[in-house]
Structure 1
Amino acid sequence: MTHPPSSPSGLMALDERSRSIFRDLVETYLDTGEPVGSRTLSKTSGLNLSPASIRNTLADLTSAGLLASPHVSAGRMPTHAGLRLFVDGLLQVGDLEADDRTAIDTRVSAVGRRPEDVLSEVSNLLSGLAGGAGLVASPAQDAPLRHVEFVNLSPTEVLAVLVTEDGNVENRLMRPPPGLPPAALIEAGNYLSARLRGRTLAEALSAIREEISAKQAQLDGAASALVEAGLADWAGPEQRTLIVRGQSRLLESVEAAEDLERIRLLFDDIERQEGLLSLLDEARQAQGVRLFIGSENPLFSLSGSSVIVAPYRNRENQIIGAIGVIGPTRLNYARVIPIVDYTAQMVGRLLAGPR
């Protein structure tokens, strides 16, 4: 698992007693969601320490910035820095649980191979298994093309149908040049199919533009105008989609007014889809699962949420997208990390198709 840099307060600065108490407190907090008191730890730590001795250790850990207390009389809970230290140095991530593996295999395999179906189901699946909102960034449409066709819908609308080598179909609405005759649609489609076949749009656009500007394209004026309109439309930013499912599950963790406000801020974060896509893009630079806790990512500086993301790959082992889970910092990291990792591998295998 890759992740942002750890807190400077490393485990080496803690003695064995502090480390044990810190681990027990964080594990109890992640399990219950409640601040943990010294009396609870005196029963669970196995160190035969009095509550007073444990309180002294908790005070030291609080001074180090690893713990915080929401109220004066309450127990303590890990800070974001404390959670990062726990995840990096004390969390034991095991293999995927058998029930989770079966659920992922069964549900993802049942939806077929249409990318939109696979990605939508994966987002739902992650939400249900992990107890947060499921996030999926669709891959950029950069597969080699096999066929291009134009369909006249009205005097002001033309549908461009782009079929890729792997069988996916993408439909794009265009505004055609005025007075476009039906024959120009066929001529423009044949021209682009011949020049784009086996190449991505990015690879072929500049060559086609040069041919048209040099008047070397064997097209009449109307067909040439339609091709140029298509090139102008398709040369924009990569068309990608962010699929978010299970936001209502985030409300299940609400237990106090401050929790409700945090969830409201998290919903605002999710609405800023461009920011989430950028976050998922960061996962595309990593080799495995990546974890962001609270303010480690500016997007969650107010809501204090955690997100676990992993990239998925195409047949050529190139990273083409990412999936993830977003939720409160009290996620079950030991369980969710292998869920996200395995699901990303499943997505890549399904989208790649049979070899």
Structure 2
Amino acid sequence: MIQELNERSRQIFRTIVEAYLETGEPVGSRTLSQRLGFPLSPASIRNVMSDLEAAGLLHAPHHSAGRLPTDAGLRIFVDSFLELGSLTDDERRTIEGQAAAEGRGRSVEDLLTEATRQLSGLSQCAGLVIAPKADNPLSHVEFVYLGPGRALVVLVSQDGSVENRIIDVPLGMTPSALQMASNYTSARLGGRTMAEGRSGILKEIEDRRAELDLLTAKVVEAGLATWSGDEERNTLIVSGRARLLDDLTAVEDLERVRQLFDDLESKRDVLQLLDLAHDADGVRIFIGSENKLFSLSGSSLIVAPFRRADERIVGMIGVIAPTRVNYGRVVPMVDYTARMIGRLIR
């Protein structure tokens, strides 16, 4: 569509969007005449603005004679006119400070939490990161008796991390039977990830090759099932949510952000970001109504993938921002942060 506009219309459109991103206010013909680098009558400016509105690139709020870019207009601006800025030395040092966190022996999740907090602070937006939890090789597995019909499954990884879940077990299970389940499972999972070892154990039980009685086999199956297809195996971290409340001007804006908070809290659709990551070569920008990940439009999502040493994408980091965010400033921050995380998790 932008190719169909003449040079004067392109310049006016670009100036309107830049003024809007700077002020957040509708842009009128007087402001435009002051910002344009060439003389043009107010009547000519208004005619061009009307043409851009008819093309779906601008819209006029009912309370103002000025114009605002539509989501489609912002998309064209980002794709055709956006000029990316450069990070300052201070911004680079802040992002690179994550290396010190790694040096203190923090976990990957701690590293991602710190990166998200720093990105939120630098961008003045809400920071977001999502990645699969590491499926580390296991050291051993324990089934702990909690009382009739209840047991605790404890997974201890070779890196020292511990995860546990409570499961239901058949009535009549004894602590000694649970110890047998622990020994059996640890012998087959030790030194392997859950993903690597689970199917072999289940196949052995199914083929009746496991040296377990029926009740103990059911306990092992129940324990393994708690880590099968579990959405909680993904890490979702959001920092700086309160920044989304800045500059709200209407009750409907507050309701939109409240609903967004609910979506984030429930992780509804947010895990789709991992699917988007595998199609992304660099920073991706979703503007307003383009963003199908949340139930309501009105926010922009700027995200970039980060990779392991083998170049496999393992997660995404970015920001949730108002649509009038300074894209030229925020995109380099997101990109540099993603690259830094990739170097630290290699």
User: Is the TM-score greater than 0.5?
Assistant: yes
How many residue pairs end up in the alignment?
A: 343
Give the distance between the partners of 2:172 and 2:251, measured in 1 at CA: 61
Match of 2:332 in 1: 338
Contact 1:113 1:351 (8 Å CA) reproduced = no
Match of 1:169 in 2: 162
Give the distance between the partners of 2:132 and 2:100, measured in 1 at CA: 19
The alignment's TM-score, normalised by the length of structure 2, stands at 0.88
What code does the residue aligned with 1:326 have?
A: I
Deviations 1:268-321 (A, max 9, x none): 443452212224532243222211111113345743211111222234332222
Decide which of 248, 251, 275 is 1:254's aligned counterpart. 248
What code does the residue aligned with 2:110 have?
A: D
Please state whether the residue corresponding to 1:129 is helix, strand or coil.
helix
Contact 1:294 1:301 (8 Å CA) reproduced = no
Q: Which deviates more, 248-257 or 61-70?
A: 248-257
Structure 2 residue 80 is the aligned partner of structure 1 residue 89: yes
Q: For the structure 1 residues 129 and 187, does the alpha-carbon distance in structure 2 shift closer, same or farther, using more than 3 Å as the test?
A: same
Q: Which deviates more, 70-79 or 16-25?
A: 70-79
Contact 2:128 2:318 (8 Å CA) reproduced = yes
Match of 1:121 in 2: 114
Please state whether the residue corresponding to 1:12 is helix, strand or coil.
helix
Give the distance between the partners of 2:295 and 2:222, measured in 1 at CA: 42
Matched ranges for 1:22-37 at <5 A: 22-37=13-28
Match of 1:263 in 2: 257
Structure 2 residue 215 is the aligned partner of structure 1 residue 217: no
Match of 1:308 in 2: 302
Q: For the structure 1 residues 269 and 179, does the alpha-carbon distance in structure 2 shift closer, same or farther, using more than 3 Å as the test?
A: closer
Please state whether the residue corresponding to 2:25 is helix, strand or coil.
coil
Shift of 1:170: 2.4
Deviations 1:133-180 (A, max 9, x none): 222223144334343233444445433232345554322332334333
Q: For the structure 1 residues 70 and 147, does the alpha-carbon distance in structure 2 shift closer, same or farther, using more than 3 Å as the test?
A: same
What code does the residue aligned with 1:350 have?
A: L
Q: For the structure 1 residues 110 and 201, does the alpha-carbon distance in structure 2 shift closer, same or farther, using more than 3 Å as the test?
A: closer
Identity %, equivalent residues: 58
Shift of 1:333: 0.9
Please state whether the residue corresponding to 1:209 is helix, strand or coil.
helix
Shift of 1:41: 1.5
Match of 2:141 in 1: 148
Structure 2 residue 201 is the aligned partner of structure 1 residue 208: yes
What code does the residue aligned with 1:183 have?
A: S
Decide which of 61, 67, 74 is 1:70's aligned counterpart. 61
Give the distance between the partners of 1:121 and 1:157, measured in 2 at CA: 37
Structure 2 residue 9 is the aligned partner of structure 1 residue 18: yes
Give the distance between the partners of 2:219 and 2:256, measured in 1 at CA: 50
Give the distance between the partners of 1:314 and 1:172, measured in 2 at CA: 29
The alignment's TM-score, normalised by the length of structure 1, stands at 0.86
Deviations 1:56-94 (A, max 9, x none): 221111111111111264311110001000111110124
Match of 1:327 in 2: 321
Match of 2:182 in 1: 189
Identify unmatched segments of 5+ residues in structure 1. Answer: 1-8
Contact 1:269 1:299 (8 Å CA) reproduced = no
Contact 1:280 1:323 (8 Å CA) reproduced = no
